[in-house]
Amino acid sequence: MTQLETLSEFLDTANTQFQVYDLGRRVENIDMMLFNQIEALKNPYPFPTQGHAQFAIVFWREAQPPFIWFLKLPLDEQGLLSPAQRSQFIKMILEALGQDPTKALSDEEQERYANHPFSFKPSQEKLALFNALVKRQLSQQPSAQYQFAASYFAALIASPKKVDDSWQQLGLQGIADICVRLDQHNHAAEINAAFEFAPVEVQAAICQCLEHVTIDAVLAQTLFDKLSQAPVEHKHIYLRALASQAELTQKAIKQLVNYQQLDENLLITIAARNWIALKDDQTRKLYLEVLANQPQIFFNQVFADIVSIPSLRQPLLLELRNTERSEKLSAAIGGLFKALSQ
């Protein structure tokens, strides 16, 4: 039998269909062609998190419920998957399941298998969005919480003044189900209305979900306006929801810099969720200048995080050689090199 070297080969050999989702930064589907290139070590993992790829593989056979693997695999300095650890996981799977990844396991086997060294548990918000996204993409019914959430948000438009404390019964899963279905029914308009009439707790939960989906221009403008008006301690709530909107995020960063409101919390939010905006040269320079005003250890940690993102790596490395940067940024970069040399 030919040795199985990749997860794709294993799942193809087992005659399953499968999809891959990143769960490290944002919850999003990874194109299968790209995933094959990642596994072939031809492309770096596009969304690294603390030196690892954190992703889910959803696989199924005809007329069977889907199975899910949550995997955390280390990356090398170039952002490529570590073949040794991947091979170790495949070997472990073959020993536990043979050629059938859908094989039923005993309770003891399930417990032992669930605690393997390459597993991880996504955060509650990411898990809710992931479940909603998978159900939609596999044409399954949304969760039991969906209907209550749909009724609540519909009421915001119908009778906003009559909305009471029923929001406390909203589940994050129901909100996630709504957010992955913004193009269905009247959900986009309802979510837009929520930012005018719903309590800030509901708005925060919505933003936790919206950061993982692509939103339209109307909702994006509403979020930008909320961000502009919000107190500093709440600005990160709305900024993260603009993750899919690079241009508005760039505008928001410029505004935050002008008003000297780009604090540590917002700097982390941009690095973790809104990094796409940093592809713009001017925005990246603004961000780095503000980052340089933070403590050296904070600068080092955030810079190390964003420079690991393949789409940002080259322009950030060029910034290290930019002779026109400020003295403050030069000093921060000098401190970074000093820390790396120790």
Of 5 and 170, more confident: 170
168-183 confidence digits (pLDDT tens): 889 999 999 999 999 9
154: Cβ contacts below 8 Å, ≥ 6 apart: 186, 190
Asked if the model's pLDDT at residue 116 lies above 80, the reply is no
Q: What percentage of the chain has pLDDT greater than the value 70? A: 93
- pLDDT digit string (tens) for 38-51? 999 999 999 999 99
List C-alpha distances in Å: 56 to 64, 120, 134.
Answer: 18, 10, 11
Q: In sequence order, what E strands does 93-132 have?
A: none
What is the helix (H) or strand (E) element at residue 59, kind and residue range? strand 52-60
Q: What is the percent of the chain with per-residue pLDDT over 90, rounded to a whole number? A: 72
Residue pair 43/309 in contact by the 8 Å Cβ criterion: no
> What pLDDT score was predicted for residue 1?
46
Does this model's pTM top 0.85? My answer is: yes
Sequence ranges of the domains in the chain: 7-114, 124-213
The average pLDDT across 44-60 equals: 94
CA distance 283 to 299: 17
* pLDDT over 70 at 108, yes or no: no
DSSP state of 87: H
Helices and strands in the chain, H and E counts? 17, 4
Q: State yes or no: pLDDT of 29 exceeds 70.
A: yes
Assess whether pLDDT exceeds 90 at residue 240.
yes
